[in-house]
Structure 1
Amino acid sequence: MTLNGLILSSFTGRGVAAILVALAGASSQAAGAEGLPPAPVAAPAVHAVNATQATMLAATRAGARIVAVGDHGIVLLSDDGGKSHRQSKSVPLDATLTSVTFADGKQGWAAGHWGAILHTEDGGETWSQQRGDIKQDRPLFAIHFFDATHGVAVGLWSLVLVTEDGGKAWQTVEMPIPEGAKKADLNLLGLFVDDKGRLFAAAERGMVLRSDDRGSHWAYLPTGYKGSFWTGLVAADGAILAAGLRGSLYRSTDYGRTWSRIDTQSKSSITDLARAGSQIVGVGLDGLILRSADNGASFKAEVRDDHASLTALAFNAAGQPVLYSRQGVVLPDDKAK
C-alpha cells in the first residue's frame, strides 16, 4: 500500500497511527510536517449521497444495529444486518472518527482526530461532542465503555483518558515508562476486553498493555515482536490475540506472560479482529480475510477478488461478518464483481 508521503519521520514504523492518517487523507502532524490537518468543523458532518463509499475505520453493534464510523465525521447505520446503510441524522464535527463503542443499544461513544469524543443516546442517530482539542491534533485511536458511566480512550504518544461519569469529564492517566525506554510514548492503537473486565491495549513496538482497574493503571506485556499491533481480542477460551503489521498475529494463553506467533499465511497487514462465540474473523489490507474456528490457535486465509483495503468489521445479529474498507461498505465478493 502506498501512503503518498504521509508517513513522516516520527511516524515511521508506527503502524496504524500513520495508516489512519493516510487513509483519512489528512496531513501528518509529526515533527517536520508543514502543518496540521484542517481543524475540525464544529457543524454537522455533511450528508452525502455517496456516504457509503467513505473510508470507514471502525464498526460495532448497538443492539441489533451496526454502527460504523470514519472519514469526515461520517457515521453509517444499518438496521438490516449490513444489507443497507444510511447516514446518521446529525454529527456535530467534521473530523475523522477512528473508533466507536456502545454500552447498550442506545448509549454510544465515538473518538477520533483532534482528541474528539462524541456521544449518542439514541443508538447513533444523533451525536453531541463531549471532548476536543483544536490546539493540537493528538488523535484518539480507540475507545471502550464498560457500561454507561465507565470508559477509556487511548491514542497518540501514550495518551490515555478515563471517565467515570459517562464522558462528561475525562481525566488523563500518567502512563508508566516501559522498561528500557526514556518516556511513555507508545502509540496505543486498539482496545479490547475479556469477560472479567480486564482491558487490553494493542500498541506499537510489539507491545500489549493490560489494565485490571478500567484504565487507571497499566502493565506492559512484551510479545517478542518489534512491529505494531493494530487490533486484538480475547477469544472465548480466554486466549489473547494481537495482530497488525505484515500479517503478524500473536497469541497468549497465560494472560500475556508468554506469546506464540500464529501463521496467517499472509504478509498483508491485519486491521481488525472480531468474534461471535468461538468464531473469529480478521480483515486486512489487500482483501485479506482470516477465519478461525479454534479460538485463534490457527487461521485460514483468503483474499477477496477485488483486493479491497479492508479496515473494519462487525458481526450482525445473525452472526455474519459485515465488512468495511477505504472505499466504504464492502459488498460480498460475489456481488462486487
Structure 2
Amino acid sequence: MWLTHRFSLTSLVAFFLSGVLIASNTQASDTLLRPALMSDKVTQSLLLDITSAGDRLVAVGERGHIIFRDPDQQWQQAQVPVIAHLTAVDFPTPQLGFAVGHEGIILRSEDAGESWELVHHELVVGPRRAQEKIPDAEAALEEAEEVGDLMDIEMLEMELDDLYFLAEADEVPPLLDIHFISSEQGFALGGYNLFLVTEDGGETWTSRKEALPNPEELHNNAIARDATGRLFIAGERGSIYRSEDQGLSWEDISPGYQGSLFSIFATRDGLLVTTGLRGNIFISRDGGETWMQPDNQAEQTLNGGLLMEDGQLLIIGQNGEYLIGNSDRLVHQTLPGRFSLQAVASQQGEIFAVGRGGVHRLPLLLPAASR
C-alpha cells in the first residue's frame, strides 16, 4: 500500500545506495527510538494500512500507531518502539508480521501484532541527484502548463515537489510497502527505485534495485503476489513490473498509462487490479499480459481494494469515494463524512477501511453493481 495524494511524496520518498547491506544495529536518532504514545483515541488517528493476521486485523499509521482487533472484539493498541509514521504492514503467518515507515524503518512482530521490535532503519537520502533532476522537471512542467494538459501538470507538480524536498531534506524518507512470500523471504520498497530484500526473516536487508527494469529510478509504490506466486510492483508513471522467479528477475508489463499507480492487488478469481490518479483502474485477467479499464465514475485518487465474499470488487479512495462491482463496471459510492480511505480489509463478513479519521466500518449491505 502506498500513501497518496497527497500526504505528498515530499514526505514519502526514499533513496538507497546500490549494493549496500544494511544491518539492524545502526545507531538510530533519539526521536526514532521514542516509543509510540498510548492513546484512547488511536482508532480515530490517521491510519495508512490494514491487513489480516489470521482472523485478527492489524492496522498501522501515524506516530507509530499500531492497532489490532480480534473478531467481535474492540480495537487494542500495540506496544511499538518507534514514534515514526508507519505506512504499510504485512503478515506472512498469523503470528509473524512486519511493518515499514518513515526513517526507513522496518518493525517485526512475533505475537500477531501485539508487540513490535525494530529490525532495520536509516537509509541514505540523495539530495545531489535530486538537485540534478530539478531543471528538467521545471522545464517539463512549464511545457505542460503551456499546452494545458491537466493530467501532466498534476503529475509533474507532484514530481517537482518530491525533488525540492529531496534536495533540501535532512531526514530520511520512508519505505512505502512490504510483502513477504515466506517467513524468511520478503521485499520492502519505496521511492527512487528503492527495493530491499531479506532472506533471513528481516535480520538483514540487501538492495536489489538493479533487478528492476527501472533505469529512471521511478518510485516503487506497492507490491503484491497472485495465486500462482508471481510478484508485481506498481509505481510512478504507470510502471508495473512482474517477477515469475520469486523476485530474482523482473520484466516491465506497464499498461501504457503515464500517471502514478498507488496500489496493486490480486484476487482469488485470477484478476490483477491496480489503481491510481483520477479514478484510474487497470485490470488484467492474464497476469499482466493485457490490461482493460472498467467503466466507473470515480474522479479521486484510488488507493486500494479487495475482492469481497460475494465476488464483487471493492475499491477505495480519496474523499470517501469507494467503488463496488465487477471487472466491467464499478458503481460509485461515498462514505459519510468523506474521509479519505487508504486501505481496506475484511473480517468475518465485515469490511473495515482505514484512512483519515481512523477506522471506518463500511456498510454491510453494500449496493450491488450490475453483474
Name the TM tier (shorter chain): 0.7 to 0.9
> What are the superposed Cα offsets for residues 95-138 of structure 1, whole Å, 9 maximum, x if unpaired?
11111000111000001111111000000011001110065414
Q: Does 1:125 align with 2:114?
A: yes
Distance 1:169 1:106, change over 3 A: same
More helix by share: 2
Distance 1:16 1:79, change over 3 A: closer
User: 2:223 is matched with which residue: 187, 191, 194?
Assistant: 191
Whether the 8 Å contact between 2:97 and 2:113 is mirrored in structure 1 is: yes
User: What TM-score results when the alignment is normalised by the length of structure 2?
Assistant: 0.75
What is the DSSP-based 3-state SS (H/G/I as helix, E as strand, rest coil) of the residue aligned with 1:118? strand
User: 2:183 is matched with which residue: 148, 151, 158?
Assistant: 148
2:313 corresponds to: 280
Say which structure, 1 or 2, has more relative contact order (CA 8 Å, 6+ apart). Answer: 2
Distance 1:39 1:262, change over 3 A: farther
Q: How does 1:55-70 map to 2 (within 5 A)?
A: 55-70=46-61
- Partner Cα distance (1:149, 1:241) in 2: 27
List gaps (5 residues or longer) in structure 1.
Answer: 1-14, 32-37
The amino acid of 2:54's aligned partner reads G
- Partner Cα distance (1:17, 1:271) in 2: 7
Q: Which has the larger radius of gyration?
A: 2
1:305 corresponds to: 336
> What are the superposed Cα offsets for residues 250-272 of structure 1, whole Å, 9 maximum, x if unpaired?
11222212211222211011111
2:358 corresponds to: 328
| TM-fit CA distance, 1:41 | 2.2
- Partner Cα distance (1:330, 1:266) in 2: 20
1:54 corresponds to: 45
The 10-residue stretch of structure 1 (169-178 or 267-276) with the greater mean CA deviation from structure 2: 169-178
| TM-fit CA distance, 1:159 | 0.6
- Partner Cα distance (2:63, 2:318) in 1: 21
User: What TM-score results when the alignment is normalised by the length of structure 1?
Assistant: 0.83
The amino acid of 1:66's aligned partner reads L
Instruction: State, as a whole percentage, how many aligned pairs show the same letter.
Output: 33
Whether the 8 Å contact between 2:277 and 2:302 is mirrored in structure 1 is: yes
Whether the 8 Å contact between 2:47 and 2:358 is mirrored in structure 1 is: yes
The Cα RMSD (Å) is 2.5
Q: Does 1:163 align with 2:198?
A: yes
